[in-house]
Amino acid sequence: MTTLFIADLHLDDARPDITALFERFLASDEARSASAFYILGDLVEAWIGDDDDAELPRRIAQATRGLREAGVPVYFMVGNRDFLLGNDFADRAGMTLLDDGTVHTIEGVPTLLMHGDVLCTDDAEYQAVRAQVRTDAWKQQILSMPLEARRAFAAKARSDSKSRTGRIDETIMDVNQGAVEAAMRGAGVTRLVHGHTHRPAVHDFALDGAPAQRIVLGDWYDHGSVLRIDGESTGLRGLTLS
Ligand SMILES: [Mn+2]
């Protein structure tokens, strides 16, 4: 059997070809024959609440529900762009929400699943902001705003970020190896899968003398990226647009 992972699609009305690629991949024979399908955060560029009545959330829910109805469990973990996504949308979309840092046995191997941002401990400024916006009080304050105000807030955050970096995607610091090892040791695993850093790779290293592996998912800014784990092998590959 095969398990599939994606993350960091950053779906956005500005990149309709990537949304179409996501829909095609979820409808593909490869996805529909998987034993499970994981989305490890930052599925969208910005999530303003489960009550958003825009077209994009509707299309996402239709795609993931289709996969679920084909018999494939679909798991979702929030990232830093879509941490306001909650149970209402997950139910509509046929997805099971996972906490960051969940361990699932993937094709026989206990595997720690994370979005990846909490591992970037060298970025103190980011971690401070993260701690602030993940409180229930902050989330409630945002979600209690009218939809239009939330849309304007998200658009402003995006244009601020774009003018700062000169690109649509942000510059993200890499993970801290000590934080990686502490998380894996704490979870009692020798395999970790995460996204967030947009640095797709399979890193083999020694954890307390034992062989360990950290697999980093790729982003979907210019093309798709998917991780396939089966009993024999792991494969990380790009998906082309056409
Ligand atoms: Mn992220």
User: Which domain CATH number covers 151?
Assistant: 3.60.21.10
- Expressed in angstroms and rounded, the spacing between residue 196 Cα and the centre of ligand 1 is 4
- Expressed in angstroms and rounded, the spacing between residue 198 Cα and the centre of ligand 1 is 8
Number of H-type helices and E-type strands within the chain: 8, 11
Domain count, the chain: 1
pLDDT in tens, 16-39: 999 999 999 999 999 999 999 999
Is there a contact between 75 and 36 (Cβ–Cβ < 8 Å)? yes
**Half-sphere exposure at residue 193, Cβ-oriented, CA atoms within 13 angstroms:** 29
pLDDT band of residue 129 (cuts 50, 70, 90) is: very high
**Residue 171, token pair as written in the block:** 């510059």
Radius of gyration of the chain (CA): 17
Give the pLDDT mean for 131-137: 94
- Expressed in angstroms and rounded, the spacing between residue 10 Cα and the centre of ligand 1 is 9
pLDDT in tens, 49-102: 999 999 999 999 999 999 999 999 999 999 999 999 999 999 999 999 999 999
**Residue 54, token pair as written in the block:** 């825009």
Q: Residue 21 to residues 30, 88, 116, 181: CA-CA distances in angstroms?
A: 14, 25, 24, 34
Give the pLDDT mean for 133-154: 94
Look at 59-63, 122-126, 193-197 and tell me which has the smallest mean pLDDT. 122-126
- Expressed in angstroms and rounded, the spacing between residue 149 Cα and the centre of ligand 1 is 23
**Residue 140, token pair as written in the block:** 């409630």
- Expressed in angstroms and rounded, the spacing between residue 42 Cα and the centre of ligand 1 is 5
- Expressed in angstroms and rounded, the spacing between residue 117 Cα and the centre of ligand 1 is 6
Range of the structural domain that residue 221 is part of: 2-239
Answer whether residue 151 shows pLDDT above 80. yes
- Expressed in angstroms and rounded, the spacing between residue 219 Cα and the centre of ligand 1 is 9
- Predicted TM-score (pTM) of the model is 0.95
Answer whether residue 164 shows pLDDT above 90. no
- Expressed in angstroms and rounded, the spacing between residue 82 Cα and the centre of ligand 1 is 9
Is there a contact between 68 and 95 (Cβ–Cβ < 8 Å)? yes
